[in-house]
Structure 1
């Protein structure tokens, strides 16, 4: 069958949902059968691709490849220093770290025929998939390679037998000629049977380190302050002290007031919360002070704190803004002032609407959480009776005001009320989720993290150069936070454009379900990255499959089959010689018949010799772009459909499984789900920045996993465990800044954990930015050279 006849096509679900498959009812599709239909088993073109006009040849393996259709713009030369101190300089392009020699080499990705022949939207080189199985295994399985195992319960049909018999005869003759002294199909293991290592080491400076000795002294940072901590204030710097009824309050330095009146013990105040959306002009602020004055008198205290007047020192303004949380903690009570906004276009006319507008601001959120426990919150509405404020119970505030995230916010309120104590990890996770849903007029890029600082014990000093992620990372390092960052990097985003602070996991796991795997954060990178130490790592081989070493138990059937195969050709030659002499004619005839029987049985004997389960095999991560059924994958590596390779049950969001009649969980072809089949079809024309479909073949577990990623991950880092499985982070490598970027997160069984070697510090980024690109004909191929 020609390759064109084997081309695949995906069918979308029809208007009747799962009831239709193209034009055929779904009832014709067997359980677990792929929605990608083919006219028989997939037949890859393999080396026939070298005759394609777009195939290019080179000396190094893979010798044949196809150039990408797109190239990166040459914005400057970049330098890379590898683990052996060799320097490479050149244009930006897609590269990986070779596990063979440690160099950064051009990334070449093997792809299925549909993608190789339709090379649109790629910035990396592609090559075709090669069959690397031993010759004898391919010969033994060749008579069966036209049988479609998805039909007739996996057995040949009556239509298959004529061609099967013809191919069996041809195979028997070939095997008999070459099998007398065959080279062994087994090969020596590599790396002691372990996965290929990742020869990587990050040697740069972090922006913030856990240990002071690792800081860059030339940047002007004091060596004793790797992550400087801000001191808490015990009382406000300034307060508005009440005077006679009808007279405006006087703003005084608190220390001066204590010195003057010798009354430190009786210093109590009300915290006045408001939003600048509702109080902007000088008249608005005058009314705000009237409300604050009434609130303080109603509470029976001598002063109040309001942000517009109690932070008068310009030199201390930045520190004062981020210390408001300490002011709230020291207040006698909380009063909220609301009013109709000056530019009201949404009809905010009732107290509830005004209060909800106030609650949408980021800085008002911690004000409620940190308000004195057990006390009602008083809400003063502009223009209403100031002697009768609206009383809102703190534990009902979420349901009344924070309607969008009431269930999450209520947990935080209960925590600060002492009714439901959250762990540090739960507190930070839930608070970050709520804060990022709220509005703010950005003062610094790290404002959301600085607002979060008020809720935790230790607060790093404000750094105006921090990005939002760096501010959060410094906060996490300072507080421990139950290894929050180590867990966060193991999250697989539901949406590829999901921001770093979103903890929505594609596996529906919570952050506290993920346990860091003997790893720790050593520092925070200059860009939005972390430096992780202690990972286990394994390289992915993308350029081709390679023969796999394995161990099988000896059996008497295999021993007999081996001797019979080895002796077949010798016996046939001996029979021919004996037939030449009359006195040995009978013996020659007997041996000839015996040898002919052996010839006819040779494909079956050869399959018997190499069939059976592996007790141990070389661990490899093979990758290719696109989708192939698991039978085709096994043929390309092991020579035939031997039943050893299976789809994973739950290693990827695209994995599918079912319960059999014995209650066992068995993996299904992912494309048995029409939604996954549609993704496979869509990914064939994916461009830069879009999700592609890749398949990871793990010979350690003898499984195949279909997954989505923007770029092919060149290595996997084992950094956590969850649900009885290990989480491995698939990373692409940006050699220009020695950073691994998370592309996907898969789940791996624990029994091959020790087959991955540990590496030192790894700089990992959450999201890799897209380098500018253009048609290859315009920008040209990237060039570079080894410097030393």
Structure 2
């Protein structure tokens, strides 16, 4: 037998006990129905075990109901049986921690940040200045705490105000837009001053004046970057919001004549609503004074005050979804934390933006959450979402996310869609996430798991139905099987003794009457012997059908195994190999999902010997471990994960729905690192 080697992994990460030799590993993982083999011995002496554990067991796992079995059944399929020590040690995962893993939610790398209760800077109206306003620090003067201000919202698709730090433009294009930027900034300032006076306020807030630019020369640059992603807090504290829209800047550069019709104004509003950062601003702005719409044309303008709840049909394509969010913030309906997160993330993913970071959509979502996390430039969208979920983890959204089955294998995680139509709040987590790793993975713990056996199929041990009738049938067959040889030997002894006595009497010449009496006695004895022989013959004919009937009965308990196949095997052949005969015990699972074929996606089947179900699924790489992560609709949500030896990480390949009774035969897993991204299939990985 090939020697077993233990591979090390990262912190809080388990490792498969794979075969050390690469060639042996590939041969060990190959499987074919043609290589089925059956043990020579009949499964009369039975040893049962749990599933092959996904962690090294601390103790031997006995069959769950072994202690409740009757000890009076005697030898046979109903007797108490020892555990399967081989099954407890094969294909185990070991948790070793030789090297550290970055913990992104530690304070120094990913802690939380406080909300802005008031803006750090405000533009105060001041007629004595040339510009008509001055920028003041709201933290320096206590009198400014009572000042009301308006929040000015616009999009750079209509007004280009960003010059310094705009890496999306070339030097030539930046120089071309410099004059336009100065003109648009002056126009927005004039509109802001007029809107503030119209609202009877003495201050306004606009981003390019009140947010310090991200520049190395500025001593507070890091704080400025945090302020960019906390603009939603400024909206909350404002008196009202002004939405300024106008012709797109590309029409201005191309000198296209501006259209100021109602349809053009509606188009400008739609363009404003398509942007990523404008949605949180609209959701969080106060509702008491309505929202002022300012249509700024080339030579004319128009204002309109509307209620916030009336905006969705005119501003957003997904008006029904955004309407739910607005109703939530206006208090007419109450969404749960989980519903708010899912609906808001789906809506934000539809918006457009010039990305500052990979996780811009998540940081926009952060403005709607109670707890905030520090903005990290190197974060991926998943890392930012994971940290945000843990910081606001009242409903454990990240654990539920791992239980979703994407509609396609190319679907992104942030779609939050399930192939079975389940919502995130329909799932009850069965695991716990403790940490976020630096490789788009998390540390999962407190979950059940089992290893998937891809080795050549062989017979398993099992226990038949222990009902009273079956026990009596077994005892009868067992008794007859023991009595028939004894009766046969007894008749042979009697016949031999009679022959000896007959020879002794006839040689001595006994009287005629004694000889007649002895003849009658011998005739009776030979008749008795013939009857016993006939009984043995009849019994030998009846016992085999009875035993076959017994062994074809229902299986009450089996050795727990997850047998893996590539493609869809012939279930009768599988059952014949596992149990010796095919009686229709194995069935195709009705909980499996019919999936369309995709390039690079293979078809696999897992046969569970506990539930007697065969589950069909598609995956990019053959899974090694099954993990139970949640419940939904009375069934378990199980992850089928492959293991990356080089990265010491599990990868989710597929999701199955399975019956809950498999938990009785599974072991708890230690902390393990799991990624939602499927692992790339190795070029030399061959499954026959």
TM-score range, shorter chain: 0.7 to 0.9
2:312 equivalent to 1:398:
yes
Evaluate the alpha carbon distance shift between residue 557 and residue 357 of structure 1 in structure 2; reply closer, same or farther with a 3 A threshold: same
Q: Deviation string for 1:235-274 (max 9, x for gaps)?
A: 2233333344996343413248x64xx7325422111111
Q: Deviation string for 1:14-53 (max 9, x for gaps)?
A: xxxxxxxxxxxxxxxxxxxxxxxxxxxxxxxxxxxxxxxx
Which secondary structure does the structure 1 equivalent of 2:459 belong to?
Answer: coil
2:299 equivalent to 1:372:
no
Q: Which has the higher contact order (CA 8 A, sep 6+)?
A: 1
2:378 equivalent to 1:451:
no
Provide the residue aligned with 1:190 in structure 2.
84
Alignment of 1:626-637 (within 5 A): 626-637=567-578
Q: Deviation string for 1:399-426 (max 9, x for gaps)?
A: 22211x2222211111111111222211
Tell me, which stretches of 5 or more residues in structure 1 are unaligned?
A: 1-58, 62-78, 88-94, 114-127, 139-181, 213-223, 655-675, 777-788
The whole-number CA distance in structure 2 between the counterparts of 1:374 and 1:107 is 72
Contact 1:189 1:550 in 2 (8 A): no
Evaluate the alpha carbon distance shift between residue 774 and residue 561 of structure 1 in structure 2; reply closer, same or farther with a 3 A threshold: closer
Provide the residue aligned with 1:539 in structure 2.
451
Q: Deviation string for 1:732-764 (max 9, x for gaps)?
A: 111112211111122222233232111221111
Contact 1:375 1:394 in 2 (8 A): no
Evaluate the alpha carbon distance shift between residue 713 and residue 185 of structure 1 in structure 2; reply closer, same or farther with a 3 A threshold: farther
Evaluate the alpha carbon distance shift between residue 266 and residue 509 of structure 1 in structure 2; reply closer, same or farther with a 3 A threshold: same
Which secondary structure does the structure 1 equivalent of 2:603 belong to?
Answer: strand
User: How far off its partner does 1:571 sit?
Assistant: 8.7
1:623 to 564, 569, 576: 564
The whole-number CA distance in structure 2 between the counterparts of 1:387 and 1:352 is 14
2:199 to 299, 307, 330: 299
Query: What is the root-mean-square deviation of aligned Cα atoms in Å?
Result: 4.2
Q: What is the TM-score normalised by the length of structure 1? A: 0.66
2:4 equivalent to 1:81:
no
Contact 2:359 2:379 in 1 (8 A): yes
Which secondary structure does the structure 2 equivalent of 1:636 belong to?
Answer: helix
Provide the residue aligned with 1:647 in structure 2.
588
Aligned length: 589
Deviates more, 1:584-593 or 1:372-381: 584-593
User: How far off its partner does 1:569 sit?
Assistant: 8.6
Evaluate the alpha carbon distance shift between residue 252 and residue 557 of structure 1 in structure 2; reply closer, same or farther with a 3 A threshold: same
Which secondary structure does the structure 2 equivalent of 1:201 belong to?
Answer: strand
The whole-number CA distance in structure 2 between the counterparts of 1:432 and 1:83 is 32
User: How far off its partner does 1:642 sit?
Assistant: 2.2
Alignment of 1:31-110 (within 5 A): 60=2, 80-81=7-8, 96-97=16-17, 106=26, 108-109=28-29
Contact 1:493 1:505 in 2 (8 A): yes
Contact 1:189 1:618 in 2 (8 A): no
User: How far off its partner does 1:611 sit?
Assistant: 2.4
The whole-number CA distance in structure 2 between the counterparts of 1:524 and 1:84 is 12
Deviates more, 1:492-501 or 1:376-385: 376-385
Evaluate the alpha carbon distance shift between residue 132 and residue 251 of structure 1 in structure 2; reply closer, same or farther with a 3 A threshold: farther
Contact 2:562 2:607 in 1 (8 A): yes
User: How far off its partner does 1:80 sit?
Assistant: 3.5
Provide the residue aligned with 1:482 in structure 2.
395
The whole-number CA distance in structure 2 between the counterparts of 1:205 and 1:748 is 35
Provide the residue aligned with 1:753 in structure 2.
663
Which secondary structure does the structure 1 equivalent of 2:205 belong to?
Answer: strand
2:202 equivalent to 1:286:
no
The whole-number CA distance in structure 1 between the counterparts of 2:537 and 2:129 is 119
2:372 equivalent to 1:462:
no
Alignment of 1:582-593 (within 5 A): none
Which secondary structure does the structure 1 equivalent of 2:185 belong to?
Answer: helix
User: How far off its partner does 1:599 sit?
Assistant: 5.9
Contact 2:246 2:268 in 1 (8 A): yes
The whole-number CA distance in structure 2 between the counterparts of 1:606 and 1:710 is 46
Which secondary structure does the structure 1 equivalent of 2:112 belong to?
Answer: coil
The whole-number CA distance in structure 2 between the counterparts of 1:550 and 1:411 is 55
Provide the residue aligned with 1:351 in structure 2.
265
Evaluate the alpha carbon distance shift between residue 96 and residue 695 of structure 1 in structure 2; reply closer, same or farther with a 3 A threshold: farther
Higher helix residue share: 2
User: How far off its partner does 1:606 sit?
Assistant: 3.2
Q: Deviation string for 1:706-746 (max 9, x for gaps)?
A: 22222222111112111122221111111112211111122
Contact 1:97 1:105 in 2 (8 A): no
Alignment of 1:6-17 (within 5 A): none
The whole-number CA distance in structure 1 between the counterparts of 2:635 and 2:284 is 39
Evaluate the alpha carbon distance shift between residue 198 and residue 746 of structure 1 in structure 2; reply closer, same or farther with a 3 A threshold: farther
Contact 1:742 1:766 in 2 (8 A): yes
Provide the residue aligned with 1:561 in structure 2.
477
2:310 equivalent to 1:430:
no
The whole-number CA distance in structure 1 between the counterparts of 2:444 and 2:471 is 47
Alignment of 1:202-351 (within 5 A): 203=97, 204-208=99-103, 225=108, 227-244=110-127, 248-255=131-138, 259=141, 263-280=143-160, 281-282=180-181, 283-314=183-214, 315=218, 316=221, 317-344=224-251, 350-351=264-265
Q: Deviation string for 1:623-661 (max 9, x for gaps)?
A: 1111134333211211122233233332x324xxxxxxx
Which secondary structure does the structure 1 equivalent of 2:281 belong to?
Answer: helix
Which secondary structure does the structure 2 equivalent of 1:555 belong to?
Answer: helix
Larger CA Rg, structure 1 vs 2? 2
The whole-number CA distance in structure 1 between the counterparts of 2:12 and 2:487 is 60
Contact 2:566 2:604 in 1 (8 A): yes
Which secondary structure does the structure 1 equivalent of 2:122 belong to?
Answer: strand
Contact 2:624 2:643 in 1 (8 A): yes
Contact 2:459 2:580 in 1 (8 A): no
Alignment of 1:546-695 (within 5 A): 546-552=458-464, 553=466, 554-564=470-480, 604-650=545-591, 652-654=592-594, 690-695=600-605
Q: What is the TM-score normalised by the length of structure 2? A: 0.75
The whole-number CA distance in structure 2 between the counterparts of 1:85 and 1:597 is 66
Alignment of 1:776-787 (within 5 A): none
Tell me, which stretches of 5 or more residues in structure 2 are unaligned?
A: 45-74, 161-179, 500-521
Contact 2:125 2:133 in 1 (8 A): yes
Evaluate the alpha carbon distance shift between residue 409 and residue 109 of structure 1 in structure 2; reply closer, same or farther with a 3 A threshold: farther
